[in-house]
Structure 1
Amino acid sequence: MKHTIDIECSGHDLHSLFYQFLDEFLFGFSAEPFFIARKVKILEFDRESHTIKARGYGETFNLDKHPQGTEVKAITFSNMQIHEKVGRSDVYVIIDI
């Protein structure tokens, strides 16, 4: 991957932490240099204090390479769900486009 972006965020519970996590990457896409994360690696995750550090690997948006179309406008709490199982968590989020 050509570029990376590091994010740190926190929340008051897992739902707000997940929201902030997604919103940080959305901000990275919405602001210069319009970063598109293709892969995300979790560097630190603290369930007790609801904090996360992650690194996104990707590239900057390029009209010649990336087709324009539907863009994510906002992350929402609407029907957000986190289902935790042994060794796995499934998360669901509705986004505004």
Structure 2
Amino acid sequence: MGYRMLEHMTDALVEVEADTLEEAFALAAKALVDVMVDVSKVEERLEIMLEAYGHDLENLLYNWLEQVMIALVSDHIAMSRFNTRIEVGDYDDGRYRITAKAYGEALNLEKHNYKVEIKGVTYHMMSVENVEGKYRLRFLLDL
């Protein structure tokens, strides 16, 4: 289980595979951070809470990755681990909700070996599938 970068001409195409949906979303967040900085150099010095909603799983993935990107780019927090929880509830007519504790530290471009700027998350080529009991996510990051 884990994530990998797939071949793409100009952007970052990521594939995640995990046993649970929560683990898949946690790995997707880690992969996004790893596209921009070296996630292996991020220490767990602080904890932040993240939350996102979606009307389906693809929309939840998109909104989740946007929240991770905001924390990374706008709040300058590099994260290396995510404890996620996904629920379907009565929040606003049965939408999905993800909450997470994210662990990391203040972003330091030199320490974390800045790689590339992510312009945004896209819906292009995005999928959330359950294949033979494993969850597989794919998403494209616009670089």
Coarse TM-score class (shorter-chain normalised): 0.7 to 0.9
**Structure 2: 5+ residue stretches without partners:** 1-43, 89-93
RMSD of Structure 2 on Structure 1 (CA): 1.5
Report the TM-score, using the length of structure 1 for normalisation.
0.87
- Detail structure 1 runs of 4+ shifted over 3 Å in the superposition: none
Equivalent residue, structure 2, for 1:17: 60
> Is 2:39 the partner of 1:39?
no
Q: Relative contact order (C-alpha < 8 Å, sep 6+): which is higher?
A: 2
Instruction: Give the deviation of 1:68 after TM superposition.
Output: 2.4
Equivalent residue, structure 2, for 1:54: 100
CA distance in 1, matches of 2:114, 2:77: 14
Equivalent residue, structure 1, for 2:46: 3
Equivalent residue, structure 2, for 1:77: 123
Aligned residues: 95
Greater share of helix = 2
Instruction: Give the deviation of 1:87 after TM superposition.
Output: 4.3
Instruction: Give the deviation of 1:15 after TM superposition.
Output: 0.5
Report the TM-score, using the length of structure 2 for normalisation.
0.61
Instruction: Give the deviation of 1:70 after TM superposition.
Output: 0.8
**Structure 1: 5+ residue stretches without partners:** none
